Amino acid sequence: MKVCTFNVNSIRTRKDLIIRWLTEKEKDIDILCFQEIKVEDDKFPYKDFEQLGYKAVVYGQKGYNGVATLSRKDFVEVKKGLRDEYFDQQKRILSTKIGDIWVINVYAPHGDLRGGDKYYYKLDWYKRFRQFLDENFSPEDKIIALGDFNIAIEDIDVYDPELLADSIGTMPEEREAFKNILDFGFVDTFRYLYPDKQQFTWWDYIGGAIWKNEGMRIDYILATKPLIPHLKDVYVDLWPRRRRTPKPSDHAPVIAIFEV
């Protein structure tokens, strides 16, 4: 089973590139999770992906945020949002059960410099996300939580730890918030397989950062322990990011392979 997370930074802008990527490069992805689709549910290009064999569940909003999960198999159950009226004004979490595995598609808030409203919102959102996990799931369940978490959890996950110290995505309190999610019972699959490898998933558009590899690892595939014996590989596919035309997302897809 091949599972992918990809912050597409607008599904309509990136659709042609994604279709080309899925047709030419990654033909056998079973579960595909998009973040930051930036469209309402009825504006999602369902038919384009149906032609490639995917069924889609979408939790979107106009112009911002939004997540979509695509699967070659049927969805058994769907939970949209965090079941919280305040936090679900922003469409950021989509939980789908596919077979006996829960797939939680995550687009965490970006946040802001310390002290701003968006800074506090991000930390509070992470607390609510942990509560949602505790209320709805067990660490003994087969769960894959994947997406753009907007936090680089260790210094190895940024290209220049000194330059980026205490900035958005590296602040100690943000990292603690993310570790609280891991403490639910998740394993960071990439770091589990590659404890010393530096690999980024996001690069700024400015200054040719992708060509200098000046990036951050903020996109993750987490899995509960029952799935770890089945984990075979995790990798970042740079092909969709290293495009000049059509313009790529600022993220690259992360792919995990499970033998189940």
From first to last of its 260 residues, the chain has per-residue pLDDT tens of: 999 999 999 999 999 999 999 999 999 999 999 999 999 999 999 999 999 999 999 999 999 999 999 999 999 999 999 999 999 999 999 999 999 999 999 999 999 999 999 999 999 999 999 999 999 999 999 999 999 999 999 999 999 999 999 999 999 999 999 999 999 999 999 999 999 999 999 999 999 999 999 999 999 999 999 999 999 999 999 999 999 888 999 999 999 999 98
Q: H or E stretch including 122?
A: helix 117-136
Annotation says 194 is catalytic:
no
Among residues 30, 59, 119, 148, the one annotated as catalytic is 148
Among residues 107, 126, 159, 220, the one annotated as catalytic is 107
Domains defined for the chain, CATH in brackets: 2-258 (3.60.10.10)
CA distance 162 to 82: 35
Residue 85: phi and psi, rounded to 5, are -60, -40
Q: What is the pTM of this model?
A: 0.98
Annotation says 148 is catalytic:
yes
Q: Which two tokens stand for residue 151?
A: 């936090």
